Chain A
Amino acid sequence: MSERIVKILDGNTFVVSDPRGDIEASLTDPTGLFSFDTRFLSTWVLTVNGQRLNALSVDDLQYFEARFFLVPGTGTVYVDAKLSVIRRRAVGDGFHEELTILNHAEEPIELTVRVDADSDFADLFEVKDALKKKGTYSTRIDEEGLHLVYERETFERMTTIAASAPAAIDEKGLTFVVTLEPHGSWTTDLDVVTAAGAGGRFVRPKYRHGERRAQPNMGRSLESWLQEAPRLESDDDQLRATYRRSLVDLAALRFSPLIAGGRSLPAAGLPWFMAMFGRDSILTSLQSLPFTPELAATTLQALGDWQGSRVDDFRDEDPGRILHEMRYGEMTAFEERPHSPYYGCADATPLYVVLLDEYELWTGDRSLVRHREHEARAALAWIDDYADLLGDGYVWYRRRNEETGSRTSVGRTRGIRSPTRMGDCPGSPGPPANCRATPTTRRYEVPASRGWSGTTRRTPIASRKRRQTSSGGSTVTSGSRTKGTSRSRSTPRGTRSTRSRRTTAISCGAASSTSPRRRPSSPISWARGSSLVGAFGRWPREKADTTPSATTSAPCGPSTTRSSPGGSAGTGSRTRRR
């Protein structure tokens, strides 16, 4: 679509429409109401007296709701200023739309208001690849409203459309005959509900008439999300606005998988990638650790529970491997796509161990790390036993699912750069390009003497020395009362504070009088590093460090001092070797 599109979403349910609020999708045109990777509405067109409407403006009120201000007539100059049409739409378990028409004239007016509705029930992959459907369509009209049904063997999906005002319902939509008094108004609520089966009871959408309070599919509301995040104090209005916008955007990116028990993790992107992705969920969790560490906790839990346990070439699954992408659409159901879940990814598994370590560093929550010992060990075993295809100490990527698997280790997701091609796999039967070394992998050791029992793993790997690009900026301190003392990035929640060079500070909760927390001895520690530095704002150490702490600088600005894994008693610091 060349014109502006309007997107609102709630988890993996989202609506993409034109600025009028209309949906006119085709197999290749990605507009519609989508939920669980299926398009449940591909046509949603409003007309008044047979005329399409013209958009005056759109309010993107929240990430889950939008308001469209319209007038009858098309073109750049509207023809009838005596009528105003307002559509207010909120998405959640389908969507709720309040349609209001205002008569600004001195005379009464009779209108025929029509909403055309249809669904192609396309899988997201079918939209992407313009594939044809294999099932059958039907419609049903009863006292609940209009039911659009798609069936393929035992696979059933249904969209139900209901209106609060009296309507004549046919198989292609709803018609309202409206009489408006002078300066009068008319309104109806339209509910569009998605269902995974063709039977069952009609369930209303999440939002009702007049409801404006966000109701995310997770334990924390938008309000509590904002309230519980660290506070930013600054005399820079732009910085404050940017920070708040970032928190709201992060809230919109939250996705609550069924196994998360109401907690949320960051999806890969909205709206098309509102799904669990190994790499994306982990990287966003890493980047938001100072602000919303609960995202990382849920990511570790959900990805850990879905960790690979068997060898499956179709899904590129191995024991210990962390998933790449999870989808729920028809093509996944019929195994025309391997995303149930798909594991073809080189870096999600090492990144999982990275996140486990970083989570413990930032939060001090060792219980979660201990609880995930099995997954961490399985991930490390995968790196050694399955990922090191050439036995040279590098993680290599080569898909076994040549038909529908991800060709590169970063998948085929748009907007993500491809990895550097490090070389071809000698002796590999497939095309050379199918085998890639990933530069995004770190190595870890698991000390037998600390925390977990087991063998110590020390894997030599070529270290990559990188130029430090310190640019100054804010300083991370442990507690707002510790100026001038040894600083640690690793502080428990409730005491951390970030201060910039001038008058900006981020604080979380009440100021604590406790001393800055030392980095606890970690069950997982760095052994060798590589190149994800920019993403994490941290330099990996070249080898296991025995000094109490090391000063590091991140390319993005903050300069921090962090304690060593075992540095519970040390207070000194030194500049990191380069």
Chain B
Amino acid sequence: MSEPIEEFFERLTRDGPDRLRRADGSLRIDLKSGTTTEHWFVTMHGGDVSVSHRNAKADSVIRTSKDQFEGMITGTVNAMSAALRGVVSLEGDPTLLVLFQRALPGPPSTATRQGAGATGRRT
């Protein structure tokens, strides 16, 4: 198993209350690498997130290559654009898939941006 992906799912269980509060259901992510397929089974409920490697039936399924998924979790690949291109296939509850995107970061090159309102210029 690749390190960034493991770290992402570890982080997911910690960040769930912030990022995935609205998601409710199960999501299986099938990651293909050569002839092998790695399964990640994520259950989300009110911000509680648990992760396992079960290859079980889920409300939604994401199928893609390991490389593409690494791109998604590092912000270099946009999940929606990748799905439109056909490099990521999505099945099941579309709402869950959209909400899961909240756990994915923006592009790494994007400068952190905030308006003056957040920097205390307004009185």
Q: Is the CB of A385 closer than 8 A to any CB of chain B?
A: yes
A309 CB to nearest chain B CB (Å): 4
Give A285-304 as 1s and 0s: 1 = Cβ < 8 Å from B's Cβ atoms: 00000000000000000000
Asked if residues B78 and A340 are in contact (CB atoms below 8 Å), the reply is yes
Measured between beta carbons, the chain B residues less than 8 angstroms from A314 are 107, 110
Q: Is the CB of A10 closer than 8 A to any CB of chain B?
A: no
- Considering only CB atoms, which chain A residue lies closest to B80 in the complex? A340
Measured between beta carbons, the chain A residues less than 8 angstroms from B111 are 311, 313
Asked if residues A341 and B94 are in contact (CB atoms below 8 Å), the reply is no
Give B80-101 as 1s and 0s: 1 = Cβ < 8 Å from A's Cβ atoms: 1100111100000011001101
Q: Is the CB of B106 closer than 8 A to any CB of chain A?
A: yes
Q: Is the CB of B57 closer than 8 A to any CB of chain A?
A: no
Q: Is the CB of A142 closer than 8 A to any CB of chain B?
A: no
Given contact pairs A309-B102, A340-B84, A374-B21, A391 touches B113 in the complex (Cβ within 8 A):
no
Q: Is the CB of A77 closer than 8 A to any CB of chain B?
A: no
Given contact pairs A154-B85, A310-B105, A335-B81, A392 touches B122 in the complex (Cβ within 8 A):
yes
Given contact pairs A259-B94, A261-B95, A391 touches B116 in the complex (Cβ within 8 A):
yes
Q: Is the CB of B19 closer than 8 A to any CB of chain A?
A: yes
Asked if residues A311 and B95 are in contact (CB atoms below 8 Å), the reply is no
- Considering only CB atoms, which chain B residue lies closest to A258 in the complex? B94
- Considering only CB atoms, which chain A residue lies closest to B95 in the complex? A259
Given contact pairs A310-B104, A396-B115, A332 touches B122 in the complex (Cβ within 8 A):
no
Q: Is the CB of A120 closer than 8 A to any CB of chain B?
A: no
B3 CB to nearest chain A CB (Å): 22
Contact partner, A155, options B84, B101, B105, B121, Cβ 8 Å: B84
Give A46-81 as 1s and 0s: 1 = Cβ < 8 Å from B's Cβ atoms: 000000000000000000000000000000000000
Asked if residues B22 and A374 are in contact (CB atoms below 8 Å), the reply is yes
Measured between beta carbons, the chain A residues less than 8 angstroms from B19 are 309
Measured between beta carbons, the chain A residues less than 8 angstroms from B81 are 332-335, 340
Asked if residues A386 and B106 are in contact (CB atoms below 8 Å), the reply is no
Q: Is the CB of B118 closer than 8 A to any CB of chain A?
A: yes
Measured between beta carbons, the chain B residues less than 8 angstroms from A311 are 106, 110-113
Q: Is the CB of B34 closer than 8 A to any CB of chain A?
A: no
Q: Is the CB of A181 closer than 8 A to any CB of chain B?
A: no
B106 CB to nearest chain A CB (Å): 4
B123 CB to nearest chain A CB (Å): 8
B56 CB to nearest chain A CB (Å): 24
Measured between beta carbons, the chain A residues less than 8 angstroms from B102 are 309-310
Given contact pairs A306-B98, A309-B102, A385 touches B87 in the complex (Cβ within 8 A):
no
Measured between beta carbons, the chain B residues less than 8 angstroms from A400 are 113
Measured between beta carbons, the chain B residues less than 8 angstroms from A383 are 117
Interface residues of A in 323-360 (CB under 8 A from B): 328-329, 332-335, 340-341
Q: Is the CB of A390 closer than 8 A to any CB of chain B?
A: yes
Bound: A334/B119 CA distance, A: 35
- Considering only CB atoms, which chain A residue lies closest to B107 in the complex? A312
- Considering only CB atoms, which chain A residue lies closest to B85 in the complex? A333
Q: Is the CB of A389 closer than 8 A to any CB of chain B?
A: yes
Measured between beta carbons, the chain A residues less than 8 angstroms from B99 are 305
Asked if residues B112 and A154 are in contact (CB atoms below 8 Å), the reply is no
Asked if residues A387 and B117 are in contact (CB atoms below 8 Å), the reply is yes
Interface of B is mostly: loop
Measured between beta carbons, the chain B residues less than 8 angstroms from A233 are none
Asked if residues A197 and B101 are in contact (CB atoms below 8 Å), the reply is no
Asked if residues A153 and B110 are in contact (CB atoms below 8 Å), the reply is no
Bound: A383/B19 CA distance, A: 20
Asked if residues A335 and B78 are in contact (CB atoms below 8 Å), the reply is yes
- Considering only CB atoms, which chain A residue lies closest to B111 in the complex? A313
Give A474-485 as 1s and 0s: 1 = Cβ < 8 Å from B's Cβ atoms: 000000000000
Asked if residues A305 and B104 are in contact (CB atoms below 8 Å), the reply is no
Measured between beta carbons, the chain A residues less than 8 angstroms from B107 are 312-314
B73 CB to nearest chain A CB (Å): 12
Bound: A241/B42 CA distance, A: 53
Asked if residues B106 and A317 are in contact (CB atoms below 8 Å), the reply is yes
Q: Is the CB of A98 closer than 8 A to any CB of chain B?
A: no
Q: Is the CB of A393 closer than 8 A to any CB of chain B?
A: yes
Bound: A112/B84 CA distance, A: 41
- Considering only CB atoms, which chain B residue lies closest to A375 in the complex? B22
Asked if residues B86 and A384 are in contact (CB atoms below 8 Å), the reply is no
Q: Is the CB of B114 closer than 8 A to any CB of chain A?
A: yes
- Considering only CB atoms, which chain B residue lies closest to A326 in the complex? B80
Bound: A393/B122 CA distance, A: 7
Measured between beta carbons, the chain A residues less than 8 angstroms from B112 are 311
Contact partner, B116, options A154, A306, A332, A389, Cβ 8 Å: A389
Measured between beta carbons, the chain A residues less than 8 angstroms from B84 are 155, 328-329, 332-333, 340
Q: Is the CB of A116 closer than 8 A to any CB of chain B?
A: no
- Considering only CB atoms, which chain A residue lies closest to B86 in the complex? A154
B102 CB to nearest chain A CB (Å): 4
Interface residues of A in 351-389 (CB under 8 A from B): 374, 383-389
Asked if residues A385 and B114 are in contact (CB atoms below 8 Å), the reply is yes
Q: Is the CB of A191 closer than 8 A to any CB of chain B?
A: no
Q: Is the CB of A156 closer than 8 A to any CB of chain B?
A: yes
Asked if residues B117 and A384 are in contact (CB atoms below 8 Å), the reply is yes
Q: Is the CB of A318 closer than 8 A to any CB of chain B?
A: yes
B79 CB to nearest chain A CB (Å): 9
Given contact pairs A258-B94, A391-B121, A386 touches B115 in the complex (Cβ within 8 A):
yes
Bound: A383/B115 CA distance, A: 9
Beyond contacts A153-B85, A309-B101, A389-B115: 6 other A-B pairs, Cβ-Cβ < 8 A, are: A258-B94, A313-B109, A313-B113, A386-B117, A390-B121, A393-B122
Residues of B with Cβ closer than 8 Å to A?
Answer: 19, 21-22, 75, 78, 80-81, 84-87, 94-95, 98-99, 101-102, 104-107, 109-119, 121-122
Residues of A with Cβ closer than 8 Å to B?
Answer: 153-156, 196-197, 258-259, 261, 305-306, 309-315, 317-318, 328-329, 332-335, 340-341, 374, 383-393, 396, 400
Q: List 28 contacting pairs A-B, 8 Å CB cutoff, sorted by A.
A: A154-B87, A155-B85, A258-B94, A259-B98, A305-B22, A306-B98, A310-B102, A310-B105, A310-B106, A311-B110, A311-B113, A312-B110, A314-B110, A328-B84, A332-B81, A333-B81, A334-B81, A340-B81, A383-B117, A384-B117, A386-B114, A386-B115, A388-B122, A389-B116, A390-B115, A391-B116, A392-B116, A393-B122
